[in-house]
Structure 1
Amino acid sequence: MIMENQRNSVFSSAMSYGLYLGLALILSQVIFYVSGNPFSQIGGYISYAIILGGIAWGMYLFREKSGAEGMPYGRALGLGTAQAFFASILLGFFIFILYKFIDSGLMDKYFIFMEQKSLESGMSEDKVEATMDFMKKFTSPLTMGLSTVFSLTLIGFIFSLILAIFFKRNPEDPFGEVVNEEEQN
């Protein structure tokens, strides 16, 4: 009973915090899109900072809400990863809508951008052309959205592995759960 309430609490908190994180990431994407820099490297760094800050904020709020129950490492890791997953669903859906309906020419701009970056990195023109042909076959608004879900969840998991170390809090009474279950019987 207690474990089920904790799971529901982590799940609902992760959904709420993930909503805020997802909206912050979408806002960041919109700002860089409107400014004419949708593929900006600085935008990527800002997104990482938003993810890191959003997960840390969610862990902090959940830990403070938990009180005497504490927040073990595993719960903190699960919260952060779930939060990133829910945020990634929102952002992935936004990316799909952006590339499919709002600016269908953005995919072509993305390919041009990737081609320029590949040439600047020193790849031969033949390799760049082969890579771009491959990318054009397998990259669509749907795959961009789905890869956003996967990559953001993975990044959130990695950040959560680290952040959970700092936000974990052991329960004040580690045997309280066992005693409470025995008292109920």
Structure 2
Amino acid sequence: MDNQTTTARTALKWGLITGIALVVYSIILYTLDQTTNGALSLVIYGILIGGLIVGMREYRTNNGGYMTYGEGMGLGALLSAIAGLLSSAFTVFYTQIIDPGFQERIVGQVRDQMEQQGKMSDEQIDQAIEWMQKFQSPGLQFMFGLLGTILIGVVLSLIIAAFIRRNKTNPFE
């Protein structure tokens, strides 16, 4: 049996590492009450990009220096799914168990922002808040977090795999 690494094993390893990094960063944001800070939320994309790059490079190195575009895409999608599973599960755990008042504070902050902008009437703000609260159930929160991470990870994998891939010159090797 050959000693070639698999995309699943590499994706599992780096998906777990990336997911744990996302959870740690989320804890920092929750602790500092900066979850609505858009600039700091962009760091999440950096963590995911870093995990994808390192995971694909490790796979390519362990695979004799070669990785096809399809292997990179598959690895990236699986890595993103694992990282999304961990970070979404933690988010639901945090907002439902550790800090059940978190969602109410977010709704209050969103309401204040809408009122400060002055572009919507009170009825429109109430309606927007009502719609927002419909999507805050733990199941939907988990599903949207997981699917969002997978979608973003697949898009990023499309780009990253194009740069990291290295095909064999002889396809029969």
TM-score normalised according to structure 2 size: 0.90
| Whole-angstrom CA distance in 2 between matches of 1:107 and 1:100 | 9
Contact 2:35 2:41 in 1 (8 A): no
Matches within 5 A, 1:62-73: 62-67=59-64, 70-73=66-69
2:38 pairs, out of 37, 41, 51, with: 41
Deviations 1:93-123 (A, max 9, x none): 1011001100000010121223234443833
1:127 and 2:124 aligned:
yes
CA distance in 1, matches of 2:33, 2:132: 23
Distance in 1 (CA, whole Å) between partners of 2:37 and 2:162 is: 31
Larger helix proportion, structure 1 or 2? 1
Note the residue ranges of structure 2 that are not aligned, 5 or more in a row. Answer: none
Taking structure 1 as reference, are residues 166 and 121 closer, same or farther at Cα in structure 2, changes over 3 Å only?
A: farther
**Native 8 Å contact 1:28 1:43 kept in 2:** no
Alpha-carbon distance change, 139 to 49 in structure 1, aligned in 2, over 3 angstroms? same
Deviations 1:59-81 (A, max 9, x none): 1111111115x211011011111
Partner of 1:159: 156
Listed one character per residue, the Cα deviations across residues 104-147 of structure 1 (whole Å, up to 9, x for unaligned) are 00010121223234443833332221111122233223321221
Runs of 4+ in 1 over 2 A off after TM superposition: 113-126
- Indicate the structure (1 or 2) with the bigger Cα radius of gyration: 1
Match of 1:110 among 91, 95, 106: 106
Which of 73, 81, 87 aligns to 1:85? It is: 81
Q: Is the 8 A contact 2:135 2:141 kept in 1?
A: no
- RMSD of the TM alignment (CA)? 2.1
CA distance in structure 2 between the aligned counterparts of 1:129 and 1:115, rounded to whole angstroms: 8
Shift of 1:175: 1.0
Change (3 A) 1:127 1:10: same
Separation of aligned partners in 2, 1:142 and 1:43: 25
- SS of residue in 2 equivalent to 1:71: coil
Q: What pairs with 1:24-35 in structure 2 (closer than 5 Å)?
A: 24-35=21-32
* Equivalent residues in 2 for 1:141-156, closer than 5 Å: 141-156=138-153
Cα distance, 1:161–1:30 mapped onto 2, change above 3 Å: same
For residue 29 of structure 1, report the CA deviation from its aligned partner. Answer: 0.5
**Structure 2 residue aligned with 1:181:** none
- Asked whether the 8 Å contact 1:95–1:141 carries over to 2, the reply is no
